[in-house]
Amino acid sequence: MPSLRNVPGAPKYLINEFRLLDCDEGLRDTLLYKLVGGALVFDNIAAMEQYRECVPRTWVSLDVFD
């Protein structure tokens, strides 16, 4: 997945927000990735809107804030 360093709105990949035991870490790249893919999370709506202003319009938005 592309790096999110220095991206406006400070998004995080949802998949990295799951806390797993070391013995279950392999599930991140298999099961969890198939469930949530590259979904992003933000600290608040203002951060999400800041991110949206910089996103190329060719991307598909699935949010409900339109």
Average pLDDT over residues 3-26: 89
Element containing residue 12 per DSSP (H, E): strand 12-13
Collect all residues with Cβ–Cβ distance below 8 Å to 45 and sequence separation of at least 6. 65
Residue-wise pLDDT for 20-36, tens only, equals 999 999 998 899 889 88
3-state secondary structure of 34: helix
Q: What angle do CA 17, 21, 26 make, to 5 degrees?
A: 80
Length of the chain (residues): 66
Return mean pLDDT, the chain.
Answer: 83
With 60 as the cut, is the pLDDT of residue 58 above it? no
Alpha helices in the chain (DSSP H): 33-36, 45-54
